[in-house]
Amino acid sequence: MAISIPLFSLSSLSLSSSSSSSLYPSKLHSPSRTSTLGTSYCNSTSHINLSIRSSYSGNGSSPDAFNSSEIPSMSPFSLSMNESNKPSFKWRRVLLKVSGEALAGDQAQNIDPKITMAIAREVAAVTRLGIEVALVVGGGNIFRGATWAGCSGLERSSADYIGMLATVMNAIFLQATMESIGIPTRVQTAFRMSEVAEPYIRRRAVRHLEKGRVVIFAAGTGNPFFTTDTAAALRCAEINAEVVLKATNVDGVYEDDPKRNPQARLLDTLTYQEVTSKDLSVMDMTAITLCQENNIPVVVFNLNKPGNIEKAIKGERVGTLIGATWNSTVSTA
């Protein structure tokens, strides 16, 4: 069956690199956990800054745009292509994990619309090729439960629910950006917020993907004490996506701290065991274990380099690949 729909106007957008920090073994820390965003707010007078840069003027930012049912259903495919003759890429369905911190760009505000637009454009480019893309978005740019737990009697669970709500804010912003350039997008939340988004329903999510829609999973796993990395591994396994693509502010995983050791090599591939035994801060232990148990490879790559998201989704060599080799999609132990 031939599918033919109008072309979108898509130009590439350059991103400002916001961080030069890197993932490296053990002594390793996660840059995302040590930035100013991760500063403890206990006993401080800091306020959560929810403001968003006003320079963004995309037409998908009105509240109406959040109601996905009002957006006409349209295929993201801009090419006339035969269903049975789709180009073959390494992955056909991917789970892209975007941390909240990555959305913050240079961190002057919680969300940088240049970043969300760059993500949207690169995702648009691959959905046009027929690759199905689901996203899990973090919330660390707005709120991290662990940072606030204990402040003013705030229990960890309650703090984590606030963190999960933060991911919903990011998801709605990303959805608006994507729809402003014509990518049909659905947000599904792990707990019900039916005025805002669909609840997470696995089979429905898969159906959306099959129809060429991008699905953004928000509110993490819906449970406190977990992270959105774990949500990414979980949703990836549930929807039978083939890989978790972890977009970060660093190029991948290094053998040593490149700040202290400029000779440190960026690692091409790693096994799951190497990640856990060397205590690499690639993902939290629950997330990496879930990936290992389900043979889900993980690609860690730099979101700030233009073209990287597209490359990662197409299965081109970028960053560090965990649990597989570049020549094969088959996971290794």
**Sequence-ordered list of residues with C-beta below 8 angstroms from that of 143, at least 6 positions apart, any chain:** 48, 159, 162, 163, 165, 166
Binding to ligand UDP in span 70-109, by CB under 6 A: 99-101
Count Cα atoms within 13 angstroms, Cβ side, for 309: 31
The answer to the question of residue 112 lying near ligand UDP (CB under 6 A) is: no
Distance of alpha carbon 31 from alpha carbon 27, whole angstroms:
12
10: exposed, middle or buried (Cβ count in 10 Å: 0-12, 13-18, 19+):
middle
| Residue in 19, 22, 32, 189 binding ligand UDP, rule: CB under 6 A | 32
CB of 6 vs ligand UDP, minimal distance in Å: 35
Nearer Cβ to ligand UDP (71/218): 218
Asked if residues 48 and 162 have their Cβ atoms less than 8 Å apart, the reply is no
| Residue in 112, 122, 132, 160 binding ligand UDP, rule: CB under 6 A | 160
| Residue in 226, 254, 272, 301 binding ligand UDP, rule: CB under 6 A | 226
The answer to the question of residue 188 lying near ligand UDP (CB under 6 A) is: no
Query: Phi and psi at residue 217, in whole multiples of 5°?
Result: -90, 125
CB of 116 vs ligand UDP, minimal distance in Å: 14
Question: How far apart are the two ends of the chain, measured CA to CA in Å?
Answer: 40
CB of 296 vs ligand UDP, minimal distance in Å: 17
Chain centroid to Cα 110, Å, comes to: 16
Nearer Cβ to ligand UDP (97/128): 97
Residues of this chain that bind ligand UDP (CB under 6 A): 32, 99-101, 138-140, 144-146, 160, 163-164, 166-167, 220-221, 223-224, 226-231
